[in-house]
Structure 1
C-alpha cells in the first residue's frame, strides 16, 4: 500500500497547479509519458500505478478520469535463453569438479529448479525405477521426474566419492548446499566453455523443456515434468523450439535452389542436344 501512496502522491504533485476534479484521461497519459517513460520505469511499475489510480478513483468519484479506459500495460513476453545440446555437453566437459558436474547434469537432465535440487533428499532418488520425486516443488506440489540412464554412472561415482548422508548435495557439516554456490560455479564453467549467453541454473531447465519438445514430447507431458499448474506457462517453449522452424525454408535458399535446378536442367538440355562442333 505504501507503493500505491507514493504513486498517487507523485501523480497529484505533478498536477499541483490543477484542480483535482479537473484532471482528465489525457492528463494520465501525459503523466505516464513525462514521468514513467522518461524515467525508464518498467512495465510492472506502470501496471502498479494503474492499479493505484483505479483504487484512488474509487474513493474520489468526482475526478473526471474514466476508470474503465484505464488499462494495465501488458507484461513483456521475453523468450528465455536456451542452450543447444552441444553447449550443454561442452559445459559438462569443462566442469572438472565431480560434485559440480553431477549438479549440472541433474539440473539439466531432470529439469529441476535450483531450489528443488538443494532440497532433494537421497531417499527421493529411485535409481531402480529411474525416477526422482520432487517434494513440495513450486506451488507445494509433488511430482516425479525422469532420472536419465546416462546420468547413473556419474551419479554412482559422485555418491561413492562424496558419500552424502541426507541431501543429494550437502555443504559443510551435512547442511544444505547453497543456491548461490551453484550459480557461481555454473557461471564459471559456462565461461570456460566459451559460451557468451547469460546462463543460470534455470537456463538448464528451459533448455531441458525445449529439447524435450524438439524430440517430440507433448506439451502435456512436459507440463507434468516441469510441475507447471497451467499449460500456458509451458507453451512458451513452443516459441523457442527449433524443430518446426528447421522445417521452414528461407526464401533465399528457395531462390538459390531454384536457380541451381534451372542451371542443371539447362546443362542437361545442352548435353543431350545434337549440336555440331
Structure 2
C-alpha cells in the first residue's frame, strides 16, 4: 500500500475480522483493546497517515509500559496484536489470522526474538529451559526500555541496573537471574557478538539471607495424627503418608510418585529416584510407617493396576498429581488440629522434613549423614533446613517412640 490513513487502515482490519465471523464481543475487544490505543497515539501526535517509524515507537512504548508494570501482560498482548495486524495489513493487504494469542507469542522485537531463539538453541536439551527463556526475555525487554534496540551498546552498568530491577520483582530467584545472565553474556562473547567485562558484576559473591524456619513440636505432630480416622480407606492412606513424612523426611513430590516396587519389604527399606535432584536415595523404613503402609495397601487402597503406592480415593484411581496434592492432605489435618499456619512459619509438609533433620542433629548425628538422609547434594544444602542454635534445637527434639502412639 501507499499512503493510507491510520483510521482507514483500522476500518479495513475491523472489516476483515468481521469477515472471519468473529462474535460481536471479540470485534469490540479488538476495537477497544488493540486498535483504539493506536488511533489515540496518532491523534496525540497530530498524525493522520500510517507511518512505520511511529508503529515501532509505539511498540517500544508498549514494552516499556509492560516492563514497568503500568499495563498487564494481557493488555500488552492485545496491543501488540493490534500493531501486528495493522503492520501486516499495510505491507501485504491482508494478515494471517490466529485463533487466539498464545502464551508463547514473543513480547520482543524481531531483532531480540532472533537472539533469544539462537541463545536458547545453544543451550541444548536442558530441563530448565523455561527459566532461561523467561529471564532472557525480560532482560531484552529491559534493554529495549533503556534505549538499546541492539546489543552493541550494552554495558556492565545495564546488567547491574537489570539485576537491581529484578530483585524488586523476584528477590528469591536471583541465583537463576545471575546464572542466566552469565550464560547469555558468555554466549555473546563466544560468538563474537559482544565482549564486555561482565565478570565484576556477575561473579561477585553476594550475601544471602538465611532464614531458619521453626520445626514441629512432638505434641503438634501427635495432635495432627489424632485427627485422622484410620478406620476409613482415606484415613489409612493419609495416616501412612504423614507417618512416612515424619519418619523419612521424603519430599511431598517423592511421596506422590512413590511406587509399590520402591519398598523393599524384606530389608525394610525404601529405594527411589528423587524428583528434585534425579539422584537415587535409599532409606530405612521405620516400623510404624511400614505398618501404616501395609494397612493401607491391604485394607484401604482401591483395586487398581496402577504401580503407584498412594491413589486418589475416587475413580478413576490415579496417583496424586504432584507434591501439592500431598501437601493439601497434610494441611487439612493441620487445620483440623487447630494449629495456626501463616506464610513463612514452617508449619507445612516440608516442615516434617526440617523437623526430622533437626531431631537427627540433636541426637548427635553428623550433618553429613543428615544430608545423605535428606537426599542433598552436599552438607551445605542441609544447613538451610536446620537451626544450629542448641537451645532452639532442644525445643524441637523429638522422641520418635512417642509419635503416633496415642490414637482416637
Which one of the candidate residues 213, 223, 236 is aligned to 1:90?
Answer: 223
Which one of the candidate residues 77, 85, 107 is aligned to 2:245?
Answer: 107
Between stretches 213-222 and 193-202, larger displacement belongs to: 193-202
1:167/1:67 CA distance change after superposition, 3 Å: closer
Once residues 81 and 54 of structure 1 are traced to their aligned partners in structure 2, the CA distance between those partners, rounded to angstroms, is: 40
Gaps of 5+ in 1: 248-277
Query: Which aligned pairs between 1:158-169 and structure 2 lie closer than 5 A?
Result: 158-163=296-301, 166-169=307-310
Once residues 280 and 158 of structure 2 are traced to their aligned partners in structure 1, the CA distance between those partners, rounded to angstroms, is: 50
* Conserved? CA contact 2:260–2:308, under 8 Å: yes
What is the aligned partner in structure 2 of residue 135 from structure 1?
Answer: 272
Query: Which aligned pairs between 1:248-259 and structure 2 lie closer than 5 A?
Result: none
What is the aligned partner in structure 1 of residue 254 from structure 2?
Answer: 116
* Conserved? CA contact 2:371–2:379, under 8 Å: yes
Which one of the candidate residues 198, 215, 220 is aligned to 1:67?
Answer: 198
Query: Which aligned pairs between 1:235-246 and structure 2 lie closer than 5 A?
Result: 235-237=383-385, 239-243=386-390, 245=392
Once residues 227 and 187 of structure 2 are traced to their aligned partners in structure 1, the CA distance between those partners, rounded to angstroms, is: 56
Between stretches 87-96 and 47-56, larger displacement belongs to: 47-56
Query: Which aligned pairs between 1:167-246 and structure 2 lie closer than 5 A?
Result: 167-171=308-312, 172-179=315-322, 180-193=324-337, 194-196=339-341, 197-237=345-385, 239-243=386-390, 245=392
Once residues 159 and 260 of structure 2 are traced to their aligned partners in structure 1, the CA distance between those partners, rounded to angstroms, is: 56
2:282 counterpart SS class: strand
Once residues 142 and 209 of structure 1 are traced to their aligned partners in structure 2, the CA distance between those partners, rounded to angstroms, is: 19
Deviation track 1:46-67 (CA, whole Å, cap 9, x = no partner) reads 5267437734863234xxx632
1:69/1:148 CA distance change after superposition, 3 Å: same
* Conserved? CA contact 1:50–1:70, under 8 Å: no
Structure 1 residue 174: Cα displacement: 4.5
Once residues 309 and 389 of structure 2 are traced to their aligned partners in structure 1, the CA distance between those partners, rounded to angstroms, is: 33
1:52/1:112 CA distance change after superposition, 3 Å: closer
Deviation track 1:252-271 (CA, whole Å, cap 9, x = no partner) reads xxxxxxxxxxxxxxxxxxxx
TM, length-normalised to structure 2: 0.49
1:185/1:54 CA distance change after superposition, 3 Å: same
Which one of the candidate residues 129, 151, 172 is aligned to 2:289?
Answer: 151
Gaps of 5+ in 2: 1-115, 117-132, 230-234, 395-408
1:195/1:214 CA distance change after superposition, 3 Å: farther
Deviation track 1:136-193 (CA, whole Å, cap 9, x = no partner) reads 2244433321222233443443333214564322233553233343222211211222
Deviation track 1:4-54 (CA, whole Å, cap 9, x = no partner) reads 25413422532469xx65x76556545655x445x4443346526743773
1:246/1:173 CA distance change after superposition, 3 Å: closer
1:134 counterpart SS class: strand
1:135 counterpart SS class: strand
Structure 1 residue 135: Cα displacement: 2.2
Q: How many residues align?
A: 238
1:7/1:127 CA distance change after superposition, 3 Å: same
Once residues 57 and 121 of structure 1 are traced to their aligned partners in structure 2, the CA distance between those partners, rounded to angstroms, is: 45
1:41/1:177 CA distance change after superposition, 3 Å: closer
1:178 counterpart SS class: coil
Structure having greater relative contact order (Cα 8 Å, sep ≥ 6): 1
Once residues 376 and 353 of structure 2 are traced to their aligned partners in structure 1, the CA distance between those partners, rounded to angstroms, is: 12
Structure 1 residue 242: Cα displacement: 4.8
